[in-house]
């Protein structure tokens, strides 16, 4: 079906490091697996996209997944003048959106993310889906359920390239599967309690919890600080990031800063 998503930047969103289930195809289109569904997306330009779903599935699932109910245009007014670096980041990554991902998959993906590059994380998540996820189409697998990962052997998990994170994944999956942590119920908690609850899981610290809050629970004040953002803060915000000024959208801005910083580094490296 043909859909108009004004200003939506598919390419940047797909490569932004918040979701590891986008695959770019030969013709430039993207294939995505989320919420037990697959979706092909073709950017036709001018805000038009060709999607491999019907209207009902789009309205019920993908509309919210791509956070289309939120007005990102208001971000453009921020940063101008007082915050030129943020203005540059917003200009570069205009149209990128914060995806509304599944809590369990996001939790597992960002436990894996520690000390790994985005391509390496993508490989691990893909392997987990291939080995333990339900096949939803020929050669296409959903992300595994908590039970499937809880039952997986350490050897099979290690074969996915998880390294020393195997017990983190195994134990956290078990705690979710056994109901010791109810990821659905966590959505009702305020930010501080949500963060504290997530951090009771093995392999989850402040940064991973922040990513899960931002990318799965729509907590737009969650502000993950990884090595890239740490550099940005030290180089461009030596007196501290103005969280109060950006209250309610700081996490979104963080994602723009993250992508912009990586883009700049890529250019400097000649990529």
Write out the residues near DNA by the rule CB under 7 A. 16-18, 110, 113-121, 123, 158, 161, 163-164, 199, 202-209, 211, 224-229, 254-255, 258, 262
Nearest Cα neighbor of 80 from 71, 72, 89 is 89
Q: Which residue has the tokens 């919420």?
A: 35
Least Å distance, CB 43 to DNA, is: 21
Nearest CB to DNA, comparing residues 3 and 183: 183
CB-based contact 96:13 (threshold 8 Å)? yes
- 247 included as an active-site residue: no
Burial 140-171 (b: 16+ CB within 10 A, else e): ebbbbbbebbbebeeeebeebbbeebbebbbe
Nearest CB to DNA, comparing residues 59 and 230: 230
Catalytic residue, from 100, 165, 207, 219: name it: 207
Nearest CB to DNA, comparing residues 17 and 144: 17
Least Å distance, CB 109 to DNA, is: 9
Nearest CB to DNA, comparing residues 49 and 258: 258
Write the CB contacts of 139 (distance below 8 Å, at least 6 apart in sequence). none
Nearest CB to DNA, comparing residues 7 and 167: 167
Least Å distance, CB 187 to DNA, is: 20
Half-sphere exposure of 9 (CA within 13 A, CB side): 17
Least Å distance, CB 223 to DNA, is: 8
Least Å distance, CB 240 to DNA, is: 14
Please state, in angstroms and rounded to a whole number, the distance separating the CA atoms of residues 212 and 66.
16
Name the token pair of 116: 């790994």
CA distances from 81 to 78, 86, 106, 110 (A): 9, 10, 35, 34
* CA 165 to chain centroid: 19
DSSP-assigned letter for residue 59: I
Write out the catalytic residue numbers: 207
């Amino acid at each position: 079906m043909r859909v108009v998503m004004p200003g939506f930047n598919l390419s940047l969103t797909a490569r932004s490091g918040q979701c590891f289930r986008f695959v770019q195809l030969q013709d430039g289109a993207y294939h995505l697996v989320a919420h037990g569904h697959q979706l092909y997306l073709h950017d036709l330009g001018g805000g038009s996209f060709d999607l491999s779903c019907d209207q009902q599935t789009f309205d019920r699932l993908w509309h919210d997944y791509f956070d289309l109910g939120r007005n990102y245009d208001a971000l453009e007014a921020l940063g101008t003048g007082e915050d030129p670096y943020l203005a540059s980041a917003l200009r570069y990554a205009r149209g990128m959106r914060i995806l509304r991902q599944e809590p369990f998959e996001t939790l597992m993906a960002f436990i894996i993310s520690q000390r790994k590059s985005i391509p390496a994380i993508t490989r691990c998540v893909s392997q987990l889906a291939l080995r333990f996820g339900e096949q939803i189409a020929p050669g296409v697998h959903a992300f595994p359920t908590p039970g499937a990962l809880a039952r997986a052997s350490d050897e099979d998990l290690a074969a996915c390239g998880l390294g020393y994170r195997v017990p983190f994944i195994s134990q956290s999956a078990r705690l979710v599967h056994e109901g010791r942590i109810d990821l659905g119920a966590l959505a009702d908690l305020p930010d501080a309690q949500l963060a504290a609850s997530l951090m009771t899981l093995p392999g989850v610290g402040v940064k991973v919890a922040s990513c899960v809050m931002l990318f799965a629970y729509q907590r737009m004040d969650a502000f993950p600080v990884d090595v890239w953002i740490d550099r940005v803060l030290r180089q461009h915000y030596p007196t501290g990031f103005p969280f109060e000024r950006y209250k309610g959208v700081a996490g979104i801005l963080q994602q723009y800063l993250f992508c912009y910083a990586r883009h700049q580094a890529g250019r400097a490296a000649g990529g």
